[in-house]
Chains A and B, each alone.
Chain A
Amino acid sequence: MDIPVADTLEDCVKTPLYDVHVTKAGRMVPFGGYALPVHYAEGIMAEHVWTRQHAGLFDVSHMGQVTLSGAGADVALEALLPGEIIGLTENRIRYSLFLDKHGGILDDLMVTRRADDLFLVVNGAVKHADIAHMRAHLEPKNIIVTYMDNHALMALQGPEAAVALTRLAPLCASLKFMQAGAMTVAGVECWVSRSGYTGEDGFEISVPAEQAATLAEKLLAEPEVKCIGLGARDSLRLEAGLPLYGHDITTQYNPVEADLSFAISKRRKTGKGFPGADKIMDQLLNGAPSKRIGLKLDGRQPVREGAIVYKGDEPVGVVTSGGFSPTLQQPVAMAYVTADCSADGTQLDIEVRGRKLQATVSPMPFVPHKYFR
């Protein structure tokens, strides 16, 4: 049989938590140029379930942590994305999208206003492109873009994340979803955000690289916390209906097609001062030709990225993410389909190896979000 074989790990960058992963028997794989664990000893399914019931610790140090400083950084950043940044108050987080001139999605990101700068977290695969994009296009040129590659990033996610973290960082209990603040975690100065990529309550912790491993060990010593790999990170975010950059969102799609219209802030809709605004506003009012939707499948056979979606004999779309939902115990997927096939309840077929599997357009998230608001 063909076992998925990893490319060489030797050329990969080790994150500050590499030794922790190896100690915990992480199965290390190359991922976007980094050596990261796809799972640990118990496997993806057990890690997924643990995170939904308790708390999981994820190494997301491959993601790009970037600060923007200098007067007018908020005004400048707004020219590159459709979110309200000027009106973002201190220690609040906004989800947004870098757009190209056609409105295509260059990346999705989190923006936090801090006392002295804007703190951005962008996707690892495109972080250098994002940084180049900002350096080229942020006006005026006095804005300083700093790549914080001397920091690790970890996510603590799950219904017991707050219980565990509060023991090490009592201040974290004062944060609500999409709020952030500076605080010490087990004595280490960190930047803590109440956010994540699993649909659960939880935190993302930015920590100086040299203290990251010690902090991870302290978090893992809490009884609620286990380390969780990339495999469960993907199945958790899929259940939560959260798009994966490079797969579910790319420059091929704009925010309306990607069903991320919520990221177009109210004030920005009238100003139109963001890339691709004419096309995006037209689609917002009149509908987009295709749309990102959720699909639940009958049976147990998962579908994967690239599978063609049919309405009867007519191809109407393509799967961009798919897998087996451990929570629902059935296959789920995200796909782009033509607008006339995008209503919840629409019966579609997905072709896998010459056979067609029945699927139903279903609202996302597939598993309800449990954010702390």
Chain B
Amino acid sequence: MLKFTKDHEWIAVDGDIATIGITNFAQKALGDVVFIELPPIGKALAAHADAAVVESVKAASDVYAPVSGTVTETNEALVADSSLVNSAPHTTGWFFKLKLSDPKELNSLMDQAAYDSYLKTL
């Protein structure tokens, strides 16, 4: 299951583990990313809490947790090469994985069709 937030995070859910990244729209708006700060493994995140920071040549931007959960894994390849966000935001440029604390929270997020429609309104 793939869902999206209005803040341009994507969340891919497999069982009770979700992988989170930012969308192609977000990486284009940010421009060249030069540094990424990811949350520590084991950290409990509330929904909408600050989870990661993306520094582009333009500015620093926060990435929020789309839903609540505990960080189980972070993308070390992304820390080593932050340009993966620009080149592959939906695949190898993922940010972190969460063990979901309340899968029902996913219901409030958009599916691909809804997100695509939302982008057209921006």
- Name 5 extra pairs, CB < 8 A, besides A1-B62, A38-B58, A231-B57: A1-B54, A43-B31, A231-B31, A300-B35, A331-B35
A-B contact pairs, 14 of them (CB 8 A): A1-B26, A1-B54, A1-B64, A2-B61, A3-B26, A4-B58, A4-B61, A43-B32, A44-B31, A45-B32, A300-B82, A301-B55, A302-B35, A302-B55
Set of chain B residues within 8 Å of A302, measured between Cβ atoms: 34-35, 55, 60
Least CB distance, B95 to chain A, in whole angstroms: 10
Q: Mark A33-44, 1 if CB is under 8 A from B, else 0.
A: 000001100011
Set of chain A residues within 8 Å of B53, measured between Cβ atoms: 353
Q: Mark B29-48, 1 if CB is under 8 A from A, else 0.
A: 11110110100000000000
In Å, the complex CA distance between A44 and B54 comes to: 16
Partner-B contacts on A (CB < 8 A): 1-4, 38-39, 43-45, 48, 231, 235, 299-302, 304, 323-324, 326, 331, 353
Q: Are A324 and B35 in contact (CB under 8 A)?
A: yes
In Å, the complex CA distance between A302 and B32 comes to: 13
Contact of A304 among B9, B37, B54, B60 (CB under 8 A): B60
In Å, the complex CA distance between A173 and B63 comes to: 50
Contact of B34 among A1, A3, A231, A300 (CB under 8 A): A300
Give the nearest-CB partner of A38 in chain B.
B58
Contact of B32 among A44, A299, A300, A304 (CB under 8 A): A44
Set of chain B residues within 8 Å of A2, measured between Cβ atoms: 7, 61-62, 64
In Å, the complex CA distance between A190 and B80 comes to: 49
**Does B22 belong to the interface (CB within 8 Å)?**
yes
**Does B113 belong to the interface (CB within 8 Å)?**
no
Main secondary structure, interface of A, reads loop
**Contact residues, B4-43 vs A (CB, 8 A):** 7-9, 22, 26, 29-32, 34-35, 37
Give the nearest-CB partner of A45 in chain B.
B32
Q: Are B35 and A301 in contact (CB under 8 A)?
A: yes
Give the nearest-CB partner of B32 in chain A.
A45
Size category of the binding interface on chain B? 20 to 34
**Does B59 belong to the interface (CB within 8 Å)?**
yes
Least CB distance, A293 to chain B, in whole angstroms: 22
In Å, the complex CA distance between A304 and B63 comes to: 18
Known: A300-B35, A302-B34, A324-B34. A45 touches B8 (CB 8 A): no
In Å, the complex CA distance between A331 and B56 comes to: 11
Q: Are A45 and B57 in contact (CB under 8 A)?
A: yes
In Å, the complex CA distance between A39 and B86 comes to: 15
Set of chain B residues within 8 Å of A48, measured between Cβ atoms: 57
In Å, the complex CA distance between A353 and B34 comes to: 17
In Å, the complex CA distance between A86 and B28 comes to: 51
Least CB distance, A65 to chain B, in whole angstroms: 28
In Å, the complex CA distance between A3 and B58 comes to: 11
Set of chain B residues within 8 Å of A38, measured between Cβ atoms: 58
In Å, the complex CA distance between A287 and B52 comes to: 43
In Å, the complex CA distance between A326 and B82 comes to: 14
Contact of A326 among B26, B30, B57, B64 (CB under 8 A): B57
Across chains A and B, which 8 residue pairs bring their CB atoms closest together, nearest first? A45-B32, A324-B34, A1-B63, A301-B35, A44-B57, A3-B29, A300-B35, A1-B7
Q: Are B55 and A39 in contact (CB under 8 A)?
A: no
In Å, the complex CA distance between A98 and B58 comes to: 29
Q: Are B8 and A3 in contact (CB under 8 A)?
A: yes
Least CB distance, B96 to chain A, in whole angstroms: 13
Least CB distance, A48 to chain B, in whole angstroms: 8
Least CB distance, A322 to chain B, in whole angstroms: 10
Give the nearest-CB partner of A299 in chain B.
B35
Set of chain B residues within 8 Å of A1, measured between Cβ atoms: 7-9, 22, 26, 54, 61-64
Set of chain A residues within 8 Å of B59, measured between Cβ atoms: 4, 304
In Å, the complex CA distance between A101 and B96 comes to: 55
Least CB distance, A206 to chain B, in whole angstroms: 29
Least CB distance, A327 to chain B, in whole angstroms: 12
